[in-house]
Amino acid sequence: MDVTTVNTQWDFVRRGNFEQGIALMKENFSDNPTPSTLVTLGLGYLWTAKYQEAAKHFQDWMDRYGVTADAYFSLIGVAQWCLSDYETASSSWKLGLKAQYIDMAGGTRLPLLLWAASILRPNDKLRKEAVGLLDSKVKSPKVRHWPGPIAQFALDQIDASTLVEQSKERLSQKTPPSYRWEIAFYTHLRAKERGVMSSNEFKEVLRELVDTSVSEWSGDENFLQLVRNPEFYIARHEVSAGSASATHVANSTETDQT
List, for residues 10-44, the tens digit of each pLDDT value.
Answer: 999 999 999 999 999 999 999 999 999 999 999 99
Query: For position 124, what pLDDT does the model report?
Result: 96
Query: For position 79, what pLDDT does the model report?
Result: 98
Query: For position 257, what pLDDT does the model report?
Result: 41
User: Which residues does the chain have with pLDDT short of 50?
Assistant: 1-4, 244-248, 251-253, 255-258
The overall longest dimension of the chain from CA atoms, in Å, is: 50
pTM of the full predicted structure? 0.92
Query: For position 3, what pLDDT does the model report?
Result: 46
Query: For position 243, what pLDDT does the model report?
Result: 52
Domain 3-252: top CATH class = mainly alpha
